[in-house]
Structure 1
Amino acid sequence: MSLRYGLLGLLAEGPASGYDLARRFQEVLSSIWPAQHPKIYAELRRLTAEGLIEVDSQGPRGRTAYRITGDGLAALRHWLAEEDVDRTMRLQPLLRSLFFWLMDPDELNRHLAREAEYYAGMAEAYRAYAARKDAGEFGDAPPVQSMRVTIEAAVRLFDALADWARWAADRPPAAAPPGGQG
């Protein structure tokens, strides 16, 4: 359900095509809130049918740009201020960690080292993005300022996951007995 509000929020910044919206999701949220092209286009059709967005322009090769309507902006603001926040986090690495006891200790060590390296790398990539924003490379408009808050959350989240993977490597579970049951 949040994809629709992500799209509405991006369209509140200005008109954009489905391709532009997919690129924006990839640019900022790819590892936190992925949005695939087919889902984006399907949601754009639903939002148009509901009157929350409308076609702004149509260009060559069928490129369609959309803009948010007054009803769309009202729906977005209602979601931001009135609706309960879904705090569900689906983190496959944490689901997997529940079953680390089934892994060979050497495989587990390699896995956790890769996890720590990946998360540290992601934190660093977002840190670099934040530095570009802080240097004024993208201006200081309200959407840019909000994006900076989001980027900081990503930095802190990935730093925490890297720390967790390093911590977990120092506390390997006992090996599973033959047959995988404990």
Structure 2
Amino acid sequence: MSLRHAMLGLLAAGPASGYDLLKLFEISLANVWPATQSQVYAELSRLANAGLVKAAAEGPRGRKEYAITDEGLAELRHWLTDVEPKPVRRIDMLLRVFFLDRLDPAQAHDYLERQAAEAAQDHEELLELRETVSQGEDALSVYGSLALEWGLRFTAMQREWAEWAAGQVTALGGRTFNPVPTDPRLFGSGD
């Protein structure tokens, strides 16, 4: 997902200023696609230059409300139906797991316990957010609840996995391993 498509999606619900969009991000998309004020305003400019949005109204102190154009709506629909999401392949936390043998077992266990605690904290924050989101009857609340449920299930899985992994490290009891893989199948025949 790109910031471009997030903003087009928000503007498809109705005109909004940059400030309005920033507030909408904070109450809805921040958990899946956060954006800063400078990013929102810069992207609005790019969207306008591309003809995907237009200034629909201008208020005091240069405040502009933007509306999605027909071209912008077509782009949003194209992105929603024809562009496959890119899978996340780089996960910093899991990269670190590959090298936990470089730490003593207690440090490796503590790292995994911290991951479990962070996932539990994220889960609690999403549970609190659920109370707010579930009250809305608007499309952003209804479909946002679907995304929120994914977040709740994902953070629960992260916590469960990290607790399990910490137990696995403890069960190893400081056992040492070869520093490089020794299975010849991993490297081919060598011919």
Correspondence list, 1:115-154, <5 A: 115-134=115-134, 137-138=135-136, 140-154=137-151
Deviation at 1:105, TM superposition (A): 2.2
Provide the C-alpha distance between the structure 2 equivalents of 1:148 and 1:4, rounded to a whole number of angstroms: 22
Alignment partner of 2:156 out of 147, 156, 159: 159
Report which structure shows greater RCO (CA 8 Å, sep ≥6). Answer: 1
Mark the CA change 1:96 to 1:27 in structure 2 (over 3 Å): closer, same or farther: farther
Give the % identical residues. Answer: 37
Pair 1:50 & 2:64 matched: no
When normalised by structure 2's length, the TM-score is 0.79
Deviation at 1:2, TM superposition (A): 1.5
When normalised by structure 1's length, the TM-score is 0.83
What runs of 5+ residues in structure 1 fail to find an aligned partner?
Answer: none
Correspondence list, 1:84-103, <5 A: 84-103=84-103
Q: Deviations over 1:53-102 (max 9, x none)?
A: 11233344443332211111111011101112212254321222222222
Q: Residue type of the partner of 1:65?
A: E
Q: Deviations over 1:94-147 (max 9, x none)?
A: 22222222223222222222211111111122122223333xx22x22222111
Aligned residues: 176
Match of 1:24 in 2: 24
Q: Deviations over 1:26-62 (max 9, x none)?
A: 3334343232333222221111001101123334444
Provide the C-alpha distance between the structure 1 equivalents of 2:27 and 2:6, rounded to a whole number of angstroms: 13
What runs of 5+ residues in structure 2 fail to find an aligned partner?
Answer: 181-191
Is this contact kept in 2: 1:104–1:175, CA < 8 A? Answer: no
Whose radius of gyration is greater, 1 or 2?
Answer: 2
Correspondence list, 1:29-40, <5 A: 29-40=29-40
Is this contact kept in 1: 2:28–2:140, CA < 8 A? Answer: no
